[in-house]
Amino acid sequence: MEDNPKTPPSSGDAPKAPPAPVPVALVPCLSYEEAEVNRALATALELLGGWEPLLPPDGPIYLKPNLAGPFPPERAVTTHPAVVSAVARLLKAARREVTVGDSPAGPARPGYLRFLYRRTGMEEVARDLGLNLDLNLEPVEVKLPHARSLRVVTLNRSFASAPALLNLPKFKTHLFARLTGAVKNLYGAVSGMMKVAYHTRLKDPADFMGLLLDLVDYLQPRLQVVDAVVGMEGDGPTWGRPRQVGFLLAGVNPLAVDWVMSQMMGLAPAAVPLFQVAPPPPVEVMGVPLEQARIIGFRHPSPNTMEDGLEGLSWLPRRLKEYLGKELLPRPGIIPELCAGCALCAESCPQQAIRLVDHKAMVDLSRCIRCWCCNEVCPQGAVELSRSRLGRLMASARR
């Protein structure tokens, strides 16, 4: 078992100076053409003072893109291979050994991981640039003595032992977390089906966000580079709609990067569970002013929390609201024509609320906690979100 390398700051009575603003680079990048991505990345890193001071002077580098599932790049589910290539080229030019890897939701098997790398374009990038593709799924328990949620977590050994980690998230929404950014992307370090176990134990969004923040503290990613050329709006992280955004973001502080993303999406801090647990630091946006990068008409994910489910019911007594809240939330349903009976949703459900009947998935809504793992892992898009008739009525009442 490995210890957390980070020690908490000591407390004292002396007044502290206000923290300096944390820089986040925001640079236009209108396409995935190699020259365009290289230019945008070079500009972003120049605004941050270069990548060299952020990394050890030598040794291997681990690149962690968002590889949420075996989807082709045009689906905008995963970090585009052009962005991974641009970062890897800089490192290879400096004679650094580079490994690309992820531990996505779904079966923790090398064959599935190879399929994932092939479908997302990572296999081709690794072949062209001479990168290592991480196929090591060995789990290791690590201790988090100053943890917000769990004092021991199981990670892939590759992540736990990586000397220098670069975080390459995708600009996306997320039904549970509201956005998938630099912080949420690190959940990929969790080993295989332990992702399901932690969803089971940490049903409260605040507890789950605490685990994500603990992963930030343990893994200490040196740099975050966000693929926001084409992002995802709506019901992400896998079945939203691609949306042209036209930027690369880069920063050292994952919370600061996620705050800039949330502002571009038009998400108020109060609507993002992460910021309820850890308020974002003061941020200095470098490059394009943030006001010019806000996305008009960006579609947010469907309501997910009990409070969200109570749209139009602010006038009801609290007990009645609590009783009705779950009924009014969107719920997962299966489209039989699309369901292939692969059972990935059942394997990934932390509440064991899904079973196969006649080779089709069925959801027990009385057990469902609205974590949307089923929606995230389904390769066919067979898990849809729907509301009850009462839920649709109450949602329209608010509008």
In degrees and rounded to multiples of 5, residue 252 shows phi and psi of -85, -35
CA of residue 112 relative to chain centroid, distance: 20
Q: Are 288 and 27 in contact (CB under 8 A)?
A: yes
Q: How far apart are CA 222 and CA 328, in angstroms?
A: 42
SS (H, E, C) 305-321: CCCHHHCCCCCCCHHHH
Could you tell me which of 185, 182, 175 has the C-alpha nearest to residue 205? 175
Neighbours of 374 (CB within 10 A): 23
Tokens of 281: 């630091």
Q: How far apart are CA 176 and CA 183, in angstroms?
A: 14
Q: How far apart are CA 338 and CA 382, in angstroms?
A: 5
Could you tell me which of 102, 341, 76 has the C-alpha nearest to residue 235? 76
**What's the start-to-end Cα distance of the chain, in Å?**
52
Reported as a single tens digit per residue, the pLDDT across 311-321 is: 444 555 555 55
State the DSSP string of 76-135.
SSS--HHHHHHHHHHHHHTT--EEE----SS---HHHHHHHHHHHTHHHHHHHHTPEEP-
Tokens of 51: 């990548």
Handedness of CA 311, 313, 317, 320 (dihedral sign): negative
Tokens of 200: 């089971």
The H or E element spanning position 38 is: helix 34-47
Can you give the residue ranges of every domain in the chain? Answer: 22-293, 308-398
Tokens of 116: 């994932």
Q: What local confidence, expressed as pLDDT, does residue 306 receive?
A: 45
- The CATH number of 308-398 is which of 3.30.70.20, 3.30.420.40, 3.10.580.10, 1.10.3470.10? 3.30.70.20
**Amino acid present at 344:** L
Low-confidence ranges of the chain (pLDDT < 70): 1-14, 106-107, 304-329, 387-399
Strand partners, 178: 174
Q: What local confidence, expressed as pLDDT, does residue 304 receive?
A: 62
- Residue 283: DSSP 8-state: E
Q: Do domains 22-293 and 308-398 have the same CATH topology?
A: no
The topology under which CATH files domain 22-293 is Rossmann fold (3.40.50)
The model's pTM: 0.84
Q: What local confidence, expressed as pLDDT, does residue 228 receive?
A: 98
